[in-house]
Amino acid sequence: MPQLTRQAIAEGLATFILVFIGAGSIIVGTSTGLTGIALAHGFAIFIGVAATAHISGGHINPAVTIGFLVTKRIDSLTALVYIIAQLTGALVAAGILYSVFPSNSGLGLPMLSGIGLTEGIIIESLLTLILVVVIFQTAGDEKGPSGIAPIAIGLTIAADILVGGPLTGAAMNPARWFGPALVSGVFDNALVYIIGPIFGGIVGAFLADKVLQRS
């Protein structure tokens, strides 16, 4: 099997895990609350990164892939294939959740609460910036502690959700929003979950690559 095909399958599978477990935890998580939802997302990312990092790098997120693209760590074809795979994995997961929980029209979709569009974009940007810096400084730095990358990234996701979850849902990932949005047909505040993570991912990637890792 061609290497890029294996990488695409890995990215699709890992993103499927994130959306199925993460969004699923919101659907069934009334008893666990925010902490349980944060941990479910963190565990899902830990599992996905641990299982696929040696194949595809374990991006699991178009914002991360774009960060690697703009810092010239991957080529444009690979980035495109990764993003398509990530969106596909998210869509399949949301479709399965809908088949199991058809009455839950939200499907764990991240949404704004008590803030406006601009504030939402800023929050999603900052949360994603933090995430991408951690990814670059662990998995993406040959001098970094790559062995703890899965747990460091998973803990960052959980911490971000504990802060941003009540405000934006703390998606930090266009694919995490895309799957449930497309299946549920709800596209409210789409710019928050597209522009916010991508902008934060680009800034975080340049911060790590050009400043923190500069020799």
Span 3-212: which CATH code? 1.20.1080.10
Distance CA 5, CA 153 (A): 25
- Domain boundaries of the chain, sorted by first residue: 3-212
Which structure tokens are listed for 106? 């939200």
Handedness of CA 127, 130, 133, 138 (dihedral sign): negative
DSSP conformational letter for 61: S
- pLDDT (tens digit per residue) in 94-117: 999 999 988 766 899 999 999 999
- pLDDT (tens digit per residue) in 59-89: 999 999 999 999 999 999 999 999 999 999 9
Strands (E), 17-137: none
Distance CA 81, CA 75 (A): 10
How many helices and strands, by DSSP H and E, does the chain display? 8, 0
pLDDT tops 80 at residue 46: yes
Which pLDDT belongs to residue 17? 98
Percentage, residues of the chain above pLDDT 90: 88
